């Protein structure tokens, strides 16, 4: 039957996406699968119960990891009137939030490279500097401008996504 096929495909995709987000976003295995499952669940949100059953995990683990994903601004939930359950879904802004995180990471990288550059310059301040080391310092300087352009690109792409809404 068609429906069973889709459920099977969903399982496979959750697993594949799970492994990806685990390593690339440093999420715990379960967080990663919850996020993947929600990303593939369109229309309505997904209840706590459904997650428990689909991912075969305990209540407590589901709870902990849902909170973690919420604190990372990757998911959110809504409620239905007259229904006590929460319905979880990926955060509408999660792509933008992830981009923000990436931008922060690059800014951090820039800061570190600036410190390294200072350190290198201090080392050579009194010594005469050979061409090889001069090259290294220039390379470092160039890398910082490269990181700057990365940050600019990410910010531009973020604006593009915001426009789209």
Partner DNA sequence: TATTTAGTTCGGTATTTACCGAACTAATGA
Partner DNA sequence: TCATTAGTTCGGTAAATACCGAACTAAATA
Binding mask 4-43 for DNA (x = CB under 7 A): ------------------------xxxx------------
The closest of 64, 74, 70 to 25, measured between CA atoms, is 74
Q: Which helix (H) or strand (E) holds 14?
A: helix 2-24
C-beta closer to DNA: residue 58 or 152: 58
C-beta closer to its own copies: residue 9 or 53: 9
By CB under 8 A, tell whether 131 contacts its own copies: no
Rounded to an integer, what distance in angstroms lies between the CA atom of residue 82 and that of residue 120?
65
82 binds, among DNA, its own copies, none (CB under 5 to 8 A by kind): DNA
Sheet bearing 75-79, strands edge to edge: 46-47, 86-90, 75-79
Strands 75-79 vs 46-47: parallel, antiparallel or unpaired: unpaired
Residue 49 Cβ vs its own copies, minimum distance, rounded to whole Å: 22
Residue in 4, 71, 83, 122 binding its own copies, rule: CB under 8 A: 122
Q: Which two tokens stand for residue 49?
A: 């119960």
Assign 3-state DSSP to the chain and report helix, strand, coil percentages, each to 5: 75, 5, 20
By CB under 7 A, tell whether 64 contacts DNA: yes
Q: Which two tokens stand for residue 87?
A: 């319905």
Residue whose entry in the numeric block shows the structure tokens 């594949």: 16
On the CB side of 95, how many CA atoms lie within 13 Å of its CA? Answer: 11
Q: Cα-flanking dihedrals φ and ψ of residue 61, to 5°?
A: -65, -45
Residue in 58, 67, 79, 153 binding its own copies, rule: CB under 8 A: 153
Residues 4-43 that bind its own copies (CB under 8 A): 6, 9-10, 13, 16-17, 20, 23-24, 26, 39-40, 42-43
Residue 82 Cβ vs its own copies, minimum distance, rounded to whole Å: 22
- Can you give the binding site for its own copies, defined by CB under 8 A? 6, 9-10, 13, 16-17, 20, 23-24, 26, 39-40, 42-43, 95, 105, 108-109, 112, 115-116, 119-120, 122-123, 132-133, 136, 139, 142-143, 146, 149-150, 153, 157, 160-161, 164
């Amino acid at each position: 039957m068609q429906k069973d096929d889709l459920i099977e495909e969903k399982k496979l995709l959750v697993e594949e996406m799970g492994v990806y987000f685990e390593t690339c976003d440093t999420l715990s295995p379960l967080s990663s699968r919850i996020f993947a499952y929600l990303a593939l669940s369109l229309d309505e949100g997904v209840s706590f119960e459904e997650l428990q059953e689909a991912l075969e995990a305990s209540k407590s683990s589901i709870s902990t990891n849902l909170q973690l994903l919420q604190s990372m601004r990757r998911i959110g939930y809504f409620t239905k009137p007259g229904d006590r359950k929460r319905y979880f879904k990926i955060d509408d802004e999660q792509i933008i939030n992830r981009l923000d995180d990436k931008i922060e990471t690059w800014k951090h990288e820039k800061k570190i490279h600036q410190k390294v550059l200072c350190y290198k310059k201090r080392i050579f301040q009194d010594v005469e500097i050979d061409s090889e080391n001069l090259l290294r310092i220039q390379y470092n300087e160039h890398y910082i401008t490269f990181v700057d352009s990365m940050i600019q690109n990410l910010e531009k792409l973020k604006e593009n996504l915001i426009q789209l809404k």
